[in-house]
Chains A and B, each alone.
Chain A
Amino acid sequence: MDYFEVLSVPKRFSQDLKALEKRFYELSRALHPDRFQASGDRELQKQALEKMSLLNQAYTTLKNPDLRRAYILSLQEGPSQASPSAKKSGIPMDLAEEWFEIQDLRMDDPAAAGPRIQAFTGTIRTQISECNDRLRRLEDQYDQGHESVLAEIRETLNRRTTLESLLKDVLQS
């Protein structure tokens, strides 16, 4: 049973958080081990504990957009690559040259490097926001039944991850 099935909500990137919470509360009322304490039935209590653990994990994952996205991707890929953020993030090829030049310039002429760094961070930020727009669009398509866009979503996500880590490097320098 995947997390969407646990909470009986559609397998989509976009979720109605109010409805999700309502469902979580309903199921909690039915499944929580506290409900079975008075029964004295150990087996029932053990099952309740397991079911409630699963429900908690499902809700925590689906409530958070990043975790939810990673989870949908992992369902397709299998759990071994569940966390895209854990992947080694290199520098995006198209931006690498500029970044190396800036680093050289900073050694030679720190004063001139300032404005270029500023312009460069602007470029990265724009690209990150483009990635976000694209993700939203692709996820909408997936939610409407186009499952084939998953590969593109993953690619875009990876690009955003590398951009974010480059931005961090640039800002720290």
Chain B
Amino acid sequence: MSSAREIIVGIDLGTTNSLVAWVPAPKGSPDRKPVVLKSSDGSALVPSVVTVSGTSPVVGQVAKHRKVRDARTTAFSVKRLLGRSFSDLKTEAQSLPYELISDASGLVRIRLGDQVFSAIEISALILKELKKVAESQLEVPVRKAVITVPAYFNDSQRQATRTAGRLAGFEVLRILNEPTAAALAYGLGAKDRDGLIAVYDLGGGTFDLSILKLHEGIFEVLSTHGDTQLGGDDLDQALVAWATPDFIRFSAERWARPLLRNGAGQIEDPLARAELIEAAEKAKNQISGLKAGSDTVELLVKRDGLPSFSKKITGDEFNSLVRPVLERTRAACEAAMKDAGLSNSDLTEVILVGGPTRLPIVQKVAEEIFGRKPNTSMHPDEVVAEGAAIQADILAGGNPDLLLLDVVPLTLGMETYGGLVSPFIHRNSRIPTSVSENFTTFMDNQTGVDIHVLQGERDRAEDNRSLARFKLSGIEPKPAGFPRIEVTFLIDADGILQVSARDLQTGREQSIEVKPSFGLTDAEVEKMLLDSMDHAEADIATRRLVEAKNEAEPILRTAEAKIADAFRLLPQDEAKVIEGRMTDLKQAMAGQDPDQIREGLAALNRSTVRLAELLIKDALNQAREGRGKNGEHS
């Protein structure tokens, strides 16, 4: 690798697609533009889809193509499951073709065939794929990354994302908010863009609205709001719900295999469900191309040997169908504006981010909310990854002119008497920030204190997200109320909570045992890292085998095509040696040992050196004869 610097990439880990970008300019160069890295198929978007129908997981475009065929062993939109419990996702579970189950601690798991994964592991596979894309493009190892998350992600979801990054082999330098990243890309190198901007970020599965002040390279987030369960997927689902009754009727009449509905009103059969979701997604993506509201797009489900199901929808019908979903963005926009203390006329620009904002109806709703035409000049798919790369550049010291000042999206509090919450860090507080609280004991000789930390805006503890339970232990036995323990809650620049405690009388650091409510403990992460290293060895072995086979295959095929020539041109025993080595190589390729294949290949190559020479001469002779016959001269 170049000794000049270590590369830090920016990653947009999306619900539907993921991207990786970097800033190629060397330090000191004024042009700090980010570049999105493309995978070998030339595409910047890596679909956030993982399928495990074979021996090892497949990620991206190939997995996406198998979304329908291998519906039960292909996971998509997993970002919506990150950092959440099974009980959070009961409704979600019934609209997905793959199966969600609960693990012992209530955390959601994904069953794909006979294997079970956490959402973190699936996300790590996607991140690993991006790492591969970056490494094959840049031709150096890439170890450090900035990864984006929806601004409205809570602590558990941020932690889960960071853990996924670690599992993928990254040192995650920053968890960055997506709308903030978009603002960075928007404001990069353009001083005339100073002002107050709103970023309306509708992704595949999440919605964020952030208000920022841009001033001479400072990007100050004034407020942020959102909905982590609202995105383009919900538009697909609206289409699915709309087409379901006809699809069911069609299946009964024309396929003679009537589909059933499950408890949530969804189609029971996972394959049919996946087919209809895919048809809806395809139809939705064609909507932006319609010229008139009365023009139609088609939902089409094709099955081999069966009549195709088709249902048409006009642009106007689509707009009225999804409008109620999009209206759900309004409340978040208004809340963010209120928290920032601004009215619509204060804004200088409204920027749209995320694939679904290509839809005219989304642009229209945003315009209605803010009373101005939104700016659609940013590339809705790439801008977040670009922003992540800019932040990576800032962290690498490449761009000292820029600085991001962000906020925490949700209030943090502690459970107090009667199951109520006492807030200690309010939503939209600038981060990093810290708050210290003093604790004491209620009983004589008590040596531990339990603290329950929650995140959310509700008054009752049970209505908020439980983040963690902390146990202050090892307190010296003393009369009740005597010990003084100071607990410091620190929100770092990632928006993630760190807790430390100190005994004020002795000045000693107090031990704290952190039990994340919906995440993994450090010990669990370590174990998973070790496991993945074991797997990494297995992965490498698999790859070597595949590569050896790929290398041997065309040579063996050529040899097979030329063996008749060998018997024509060479002494018979020499031709027989070649024939023997071909058989050896074929046997090696049927086995699992890459070294044996390589040896077999080398042996075959050695035995065919003379044959190759003779073949060339033979070809030249034939060409000469041919030319002679035709009487042509060069």
Contacts and interface: CB of A to CB of B under 8 A. Distances in A.
Given A34-B395, A34-B493, A38-B397, A53 B403 contact: no
A53 B400 CA distance: 20
A33 B397 CA distance: 12
B430 interface: yes
Contacts of A28: 218, 403, 405
Interface in A19-42: 25, 28-29, 32-35, 37-38
A59 interface: yes
Interface size class, chain A: 10 to 19
Interface stretch (B90-98, B190-198, B431-439): B431-439
A59 B431 CA distance: 12
B490 interface: yes
B394 A34 contact: yes
A28 B217 CA distance: 12
B282 to A, nearest CB: 42
Interface in A55-70: 56-57, 59-60
B147 to A, nearest CB: 15
A33 B493 contact: yes
A113 interface: no
B187 to A, nearest CB: 15
A105 interface: no
Given A25-B215, A25-B218, A32-B403, A37 B432 contact: no
Contacts of B394: 34
Contacts of B220: 25
B429 interface: yes
Given A28-B218, A52-B432, A60-B430, A34 B403 contact: yes
Given A32-B405, A37-B395, A49 B215 contact: no
A53 B490 contact: yes
Contacts, number: 50
B173 A37 contact: yes
B194 to A, nearest CB: 12
B346 to A, nearest CB: 15
A18 B71 CA distance: 58
Contacts of B403: 28-29, 32, 34-35
B492 interface: yes
A2 interface: no
Contacts of B218: 25, 28-29
B430 A59 contact: yes
Contacts of B434: 50, 53, 57
Contacts of A33: 432, 492-493
B28 to A, nearest CB: 14
Contacts of B492: 33, 49
Nearest to A64: B341
A44 B397 CA distance: 15
Nearest to A25: B218
Nearest to A55: B430
Nearest to A32: B403
Contacts of B215: 25
A52 B490 CA distance: 11
B548 interface: no
B395 A56 contact: no
Contacts of B429: 56, 60
Contacts of A57: 433-434
Interface in B88-120: none
Contacts of A35: 400, 403
Nearest to B396: A38
Interface in B384-414: 394-397, 400, 403-405
Contacts of B432: 33, 49, 52-53, 56
B500 to A, nearest CB: 11
Given A25-B215, A49-B492, A34 B433 contact: no
A56 B430 contact: yes
B305 to A, nearest CB: 59
Contacts of B430: 56, 59-60
A49 B397 CA distance: 17
Interface string A134-147: 00000000000000
A57 B396 CA distance: 27
Given A35-B400, A53-B432, 20 more contacts: A25-B215, A25-B216, A25-B218, A28-B218, A29-B403, A32-B405, A32-B493, A33-B492, A33-B493, A34-B394, A34-B404, A49-B490, A49-B493, A52-B432, A53-B433, A56-B429, A56-B430, A56-B431, A59-B430, A60-B429
15 contacts: A25-B215, A25-B220, A28-B403, A33-B432, A34-B403, A34-B493, A35-B400, A35-B403, A38-B396, A50-B434, A53-B432, A56-B430, A56-B431, A56-B432, A60-B429
